Amino acid sequence: MRIGIMIGEVRGPATADTLRQQATGADSLWTAQALGWDALTALTVAAPHAPRATLGTAVVPVRQRHPLTLAGQALSVQAATGNRLTLGVGSGIGVMVGGMFGLPVDRPVAFMREYLAALLPLLHGEPVAAGGEFLTVRGTVAVPGTIPPPVLLAALGPAMLRLAGTAADGAITWLTGARTLESHVVPTVLAAAAGRPTPRMVAGLPVCVTTDVADARSRLADRFGMAAQVPEYRRVLDHEGATGPQDVALIGDEETVARQINRLEETGITEFVAAPSGTETEQHHTTAFLHHLSKQNQAS
């Protein structure tokens, strides 16, 4: 199992220099799309400071990005970074897509199926001419010197997990604990992907290496607590028996966090994406420890 590092706003306010500093020394870099930095742009800014790292978005919401637009953006990142990108996409959190953009949020699986049917050939430089139920796509995208990035799908519910197995290169989760990954996420995607290449399974969680567990849990509850009110995350938190994100985050001393990461590997995921959390000192300590574990895993 690979260990990746999340950089950018999920860890707090981030300048361009912050992105570069957070990227240094990483073997695998990921960014999320929040309310500020564009995830793909943030990766491009950070990439030169981790020249051997793979890059990934976790994830780009697609309701507000036409497939032609996203394909051009993704292939531009490929050209700028030496073809290191994994493109993680998702249908977006309904309350944000509807409330902020005024876009429809119904039938997310049907929408995503139609979206992927256009996006994947566009990433391969193939022309698309489709007028579907949700999208009209007519055109092609070409960026010389690029290869199509793998596409992973943000998925939590069973139908979206099956789509990740049948139409994408794998699945990405956020705030989903080990019990749910093992009993629900991984087996659903693997079953759907039968007969296809083995899917990638990427799971993201906050991590804080600290000796003050109670205080770290309280701060994580404050920072990510709104996720517990979002239906998409509420379902997987309930499945885990968790009150909120602080109950699935990895928190504790180095030995405890290493044990929790080993437990995640047992679930069958192929990559763990850690979002270092806490004070600046805690984040530095957490990141250094995660780099150490990543190098250990690569050597074994």
Cα 84–Cα 172–Cα 228 angle in degrees, nearest 5: 135
What confidence tens digit (pLDDT) does each residue in 220-263 have?
A: 999 888 888 888 888 999 999 999 999 999 999 999 999 999 99
Q: What is the CATH number of the domain that holds 181?
A: 3.20.20.30
Tens of pLDDT along 50-89? 999 999 999 999 999 999 999 999 999 999 999 999 999 9
How much of the chain, in percent, has pLDDT values that exceed 90?
Answer: 86
Q: Most distant CA pair in the chain: distance in Å?
A: 57
Cβ proximity of 94 and 58 under 8 Å: no
- Give the HSE-up count for residue 90: Cα atoms under 13 Å, Cβ half-sphere: 24
Token pair 């990934």: residue: 56
Tokens read off for 38: 């564009």
Dihedral angle, C-alpha 98, 154, 23, 86, nearest 10 °: -120
**Count of domains in the chain?**
1
**What pTM value is reported for the model?**
0.96
Question: pLDDT of 279-298, one tens digit each?
Answer: 999 999 999 999 989 888 77
For residues 244 and 221, is the Cβ–Cβ distance under 8 A? yes
What distance in Å separates the CA atoms of residue 138 and residue 130, rounded to the nearest whole number?
6
Tokens 């193939």 label which residue? 126
Q: Which residues contact 127 (CB under 8 A, 6 or more apart)?
A: 121, 139, 140
Q: What is the CB neighbour count within 10 angstroms for residue 266?
A: 11
Count the Cβ atoms, other than its own, within 10 Å of residue 128.
Answer: 19
Print the domain residue range for 249: 2-299
Give the amino acid at 95.
Answer: V
